[in-house]
Amino acid sequence: MTTQSQGLHTHVLDTLGLEISSGQCPPGSVLRTDELAQRFDVSRTVIREVIRVLESMHLVESRRRVGVTVRPTETWNVYDPQVIRWRLAGADRPRQLRSLTVLRSAIEPVAAGLAARHATAEQCAELTERALGMVATSRGQQLEGYLEHDIAFHRIVLNASGNEMFARLGDVVAEVLAGRTHHQVMFEDPDPAAVTLHVRLAEAVREGDPEAAERITKEIAVGALHELDVLAP
């Protein structure tokens, strides 16, 4: 899904990034550019560019005479959407999903409060529209449609907060929601209570009620965390 064949660079980067973040190349292990070039059947040029990108994400460290060593997990750029995607696709998806959901539970209530203050009429309208879309797709195994509305909904709230750091978390939230829908066992329709809360949040934002918006979003977050507790060990 993440792999497009739009260039050798992309393919190699994606493969290596996935291998590293999935723990297949544990921290401390070393890679050699020549070996990689041989393995992927590409020139060392391509490998070097990939390594540089991985290095900028602090996934690896390149040192002379020793090679490219995988760095310890604590140094990864875990906010890089690419890294998040790799990790969610890899082994410790549950742990990752939990960290990210806790992050959401801290950010989104505050963002919703700000959104209630700053949202434009246009944003309010689209928010309501998305909430209705969620209602419409909340029953009858329309998970993909629901997911799309859900992602759009949260993205609007984050954007409407007016804070760029919050806004840029839209991609992260999208990854989390997508990961939850696709990888988690999620046969059933979404929780009706959650759907209702989204509708109420849209109302609170439209009415410019920051306290309510914050409170409702906290409830949504609590629900998401609870869901994780139930579905994942």
Partner DNA sequence: GTGACGTAAACGTCGTACTTATTATTCCCG
Partner DNA sequence: CGGGAATAATAAGTACGACGTTTACGTCAC
Q: CA–CA separation, 71 vs 111, rounded Å? A: 33
- Select from 21-29, 30-38, 43-51, 223-231 the region that touches its own copies (CB under 8 A): 43-51
- Footprint of its own copies on 103-142 (CB under 8 A): 103, 105-107, 109-111, 114
Sequence-ordered list of residues with C-beta below 8 angstroms from that of 205, at least 6 positions apart, any chain: 112, 115, 116, 119, 123, 124, 127, 157, 160, 213
* CB contact at 8 A, 113 and 210: yes
Amino acid at 48: R
The tokens describing 1, both together, are: 């899904």
Q: Is the alpha carbon torsion for 130, 135, 137, 141 positive or negative?
A: positive
Which of 4, 28, 64, 74 lies at the binding interface for DNA (CB under 7 A)?
64
Residue 29 lies near DNA (rule: CB under 7 A) = no
Residue 163 lies near its own copies (rule: CB under 8 A) = yes
Interface ranges with its own copies (CB under 8 A): 9, 45, 48-50, 52-53, 55-57, 73-74, 76-82, 99-100, 102-103, 105-107, 109-111, 114, 163-168
Interface ranges with DNA (CB under 7 A): 7-9, 31-34, 41-46, 48-49, 51, 62-68
